Amino acid sequence: MSGLAKYILSCGKKVAGSDNFAGVYTDELTKLGAKIEIAEGKGSVKYYDVVIYTDAVKENDIQLIEARELNKTILSRGQLLYEISRDFKKVIAVSGCHGKTTCTAMLAHIFACAGAKFGVHIGGRDKSFLNGFYSGNDFFITEACEYKKNFLLLKPDIAVILNSAPDHLECYGSVENLRSAYAHFADSAEIAIVPYGDLKVEGLTFGYEKNARFFAKRITCTNGFYSFTAMDGDSKLGTINLSVYGKHNVLNALASVAVARSAGIPFARIKEGLADFTGVERRFENIGKYKGARCIADYAHHPDEINATLSAVKKLNDGKLYVVFQPHTYSRTRNLFNEFVKVLSGINNLLIYRTFAAR
C-alpha cells in the first residue's frame, strides 16, 4: 500500500493514511509529505476525495464507515493498483504463490540497466528501489496478488505466472478453482510467461527442462550463488551470474529473462541487471551473527518456500541448523497443515513461534 501511496504523491496529490504502528514505511511517507496517523481509526477521511482500503481492513473499521456515510469514492487496494497501471503504456504483472517479490525486483534492475522509463511496485524492500520506484510511464512492473482474486482486476500486457502452488484456498475453495484463476489471468494478457508443465495455457514457458522455451543449461553453484547458461529455444543467450542465494532463483531469473526479451531488452542488459540484483529484505537476508552463528531471515511462509530456503542454507552450512518458524495466517496453516508437518518434521532443532494473524 505504501508503494502505491508514494506513486500518488509523485503525481502531486494530497495523501493521508493511518496505521496501527509506526515504522519505516510510515516514516518514508511522512518525509514525502503524507499525513500519517498512528492508531486504529484515528483521523477523519472527510477532507479527501477517495478512500483506499486493504484486505486487512475489517468492514466495521471506523474510517471505512465514515467514508460510506459521506458517500466518498471507495476503492480496494487492488482497484487502486489497476487505476495506477492505466497511467502506463505497458503493464507487466507478476503472479504466483511464491517468488513474486524477487522476480519483480529482478525486473526493476533489468529495466533500470536498460535505461527504460518505468515504474515498479514491489511487495517488499529492494536494496536499491525500496518498495517502489518511478522514472517514466513506458512500463509498469507490479506484483499481482492472487488473494481474493485481486490479480484478475489487472489488464496486463505481459502476465507472469511463476507457479500455481496451492495457497489462499479459503478464497478459492479448491485447487481447481485456483488454477482456473491463473489460467484466466494468463489469457487476459497479450503475452503470458508460464512455468513449463505447470499450467495448460498458451504462453512462453520457462523451466529447467530443455523443452521449455527459456531454460537453463550448465547450472553451477559457487558458495551458494548460482550461474547458468540461459537458452531461448535452440539459441544460446549467454551466461547469467546471480548475486542471490538459492537454486529457486534460477527459475525467477528465467522468468525475468522471458519478460525482458518480450519487452525488447537486449540480453547484455538482462545479464547486467540480474548480476546487479542482490536481494530484497527478508528474502534470505543475512541479518548478522549470534555467538558466531550466522542468522538468516526469510519470508518463507509456504511449505515449498521452506523447502527452497532449507536447500539454500544447506549449501552454505555444514554445522548445526536451528530454525525458528512463524506460521503466517491461520487459514494457510490449516489448509496446508499436512504439508507443513512434512517439511518441518525433517528439522532437528526447530522452534515454532505463535501464528502471525496478518488479517
pLDDT of residue 144: 92
Q: For residue range 335-346, what is the model confidence (pLDDT) as tens digits? A: 889 989 998 998
pLDDT confidence tier of residue 359, bands split at 50, 70 and 90 = low
In tens, the pLDDT along 165-207 reads: 767 667 777 888 888 899 999 999 999 999 998 888 889 999 9
Query: Given this model, what pLDDT does residue 280 score?
Result: 83
Nine cell digits for residue 212? 521449455
Query: Given this model, what pLDDT does residue 333 score?
Result: 87
pLDDT for 168 equals: 67
pLDDT reading at 264 higher than 60: yes
Query: What average pLDDT does this structure show over 6-14?
Result: 92
pLDDT of residue 33: 92
- The percentage of the chain sitting over the pLDDT mark of 70, rounded to a whole number, equals 98
Whether pLDDT at 316 is above 90: no
Read off the pLDDT of residues 223-240 as tens digits, 9 standing for 90 and up. Answer: 888 999 999 999 999 999
Average pLDDT over residues 323-327: 91
